[in-house]
Amino acid sequence: MNELEQSRKAGQPVKELAVRFPDLTRKSVRLRDRAVFFRSLGTMFEAGVSLTRALDQLAEQSEDPLLRQAAQGLVKGLQAGKSLSRVMADFPWAFTTVSRRLIQAGEHSGRLAQVLLRLADNEEQMLEMSQKVKNSLVTPALVSLCCLVLVVALPPLCLRGLLTMLKETGVALPWPTRMLLVFSSLLCNGWFYVGLVALTAVAWWATRRLLALPTASLRFWQALMWLPLIGPTLRTLAVIHFGQTLASMLDSGNSLLVALPLSAQATGNPILQNSISLAVTRLTEGETLAEALIACPFFPRSFVLSLRAGEESGSVAQLLLSLVKLYRLELEQRLSSFASALEPLVMSLVGAIVGFVVVATLLPMLKVVDSL
């Protein structure tokens, strides 16, 4: 048990723990920091630097307090005579089960440096894919949100004087104008923003607590997988992570019964994690990998058929890496299609809001002109 967990179980106050462990609000090491850690450790170890010395240097150089704490704990464990993979098990918030299994296989085979560099490659490729997804999905969404906020907020605030003047003329205002006046009054009220922030915070907290429940998380992912464009994109991303992790584990000497559930766990997709148990059961009954994965409806048929060819040729790991490259290209195409479909949708929504504001502003002015 690491020092952080011992302190928590001992019932130390949160303030004291926050002083000793300054980043308790984040529960795990970032993917980018872990990739740099494995790359640096593998490079130094391959150059002949001992693990203890290399970890000491990484602890001094790391800007992540969680990773620095883990590196210091690894040094103490190695000095106590434990293996690197065994000590890593004491820091589950820093190192995944997959990485520990791969390092354990590297220790047994004498290829620890190569395994560390392979882990760094995997983490960097996953980071690259995550960045592509964020750039293709999150960035357009944020830009669209900013445009909507400007279109919705600026007209009521800028036209508030004109709308108030029209209201004071005594002319019966149409319902679009009345709605615009109410919305304008809300935007000019400071308590509206206080309530909005409080409501957003409560909704965010409740959503996180709800998604922490396995059943709710599974239903949420099932709903996402049914959505057009989003569902196939998430499926392709999970297949890429699964294939890349499975290839690394098989190449390191892990058995399929061990590699399959851990590879599914590495994707972070609860649907795949639940359905992979069917494949594991069929493997224990003596079926091949391709036959076992057919029972798991998550994977595309082309993926399973390609694995069957790889099993016949005895090069499953190499074939998985080739499939990962193909699915990366497919993912990029899906992200491009999603971004292309999002643009006209956002433009239509912005146009509808602009039209509503124009109509709500012009209708009462026409009535005033007619009354003169």
212 assigned to some structural domain: yes
CB-count exposure of residue 83 (10 Å: 0-12, 13-18, 19+): middle
Given this model, what pLDDT does residue 7 score?
41
61 with 142, same domain: the answer is no
The stretch 282-286 carries a mean pLDDT of 87
Please report whether residue 109 resides in a domain: no
Let me know whether 44 and 172 are in one domain: no
Q: What is the pLDDT of residues 288-332, one digit of tens each?
A: 888 888 888 888 888 888 888 877 777 888 888 888 888 888 888
Structural domain includes residue 370 = yes
**pLDDT the model gives residue 254:** 81
Residues 216 and 90 in one domain: no
Mean pLDDT (whole number) for 185-197: 81
107 inside domain: no
Same domain, residue pair 151 and 192: yes
Mean pLDDT comparison of 52-56, 145-149, 166-170, 231-235, highest-scoring range: 52-56
- Parent domain of 67: 3-95
Structural contact between residues 260 and 246, judged by C-beta atoms closer than 8 angstroms: yes
Same-domain pairing of 214 and 337:
yes
238-281 confidence digits (pLDDT tens): 899 898 888 888 888 888 888 888 888 888 888 888 888 888 88
Query: ∠ CA 273-275-277 to the nearest 5 degrees?
Result: 85
Query: Exposed, middle or buried by CB within 10 Å (0-12, 13-18, 19+), for 344?
Result: exposed
pTM attached to this predicted model: 0.72
Same domain, 39 and 147: no
Residue 105 lies in a domain: no
CATH number at residue 90: 1.20.81.30
Give the chain's domain count: 2
Task: Mark which of 95, 117, 133 sits at the end of a domain.
Answer: 95
Residues 144, 81 share a domain: no
Same-domain status, 29 and 145 = no
75 plus 137 within the same structural domain: no
Domain membership of residue 259 (yes or no) is yes
Longest dimension (CA), the chain: 95
Collapsed DSSP state (helix, strand, coil) of residue 323: helix
Of the pLDDT bands very low, low, confident and very high (cuts 50, 70, 90), residue 14 is very low
**CB atoms closer than 10 angstroms to residue 111:** 16
Residues 69 and 148 in one domain: no
Final residue in a domain of this structure, among 44, 77, 95: 95
Same-domain check for residues 15 and 140 = no
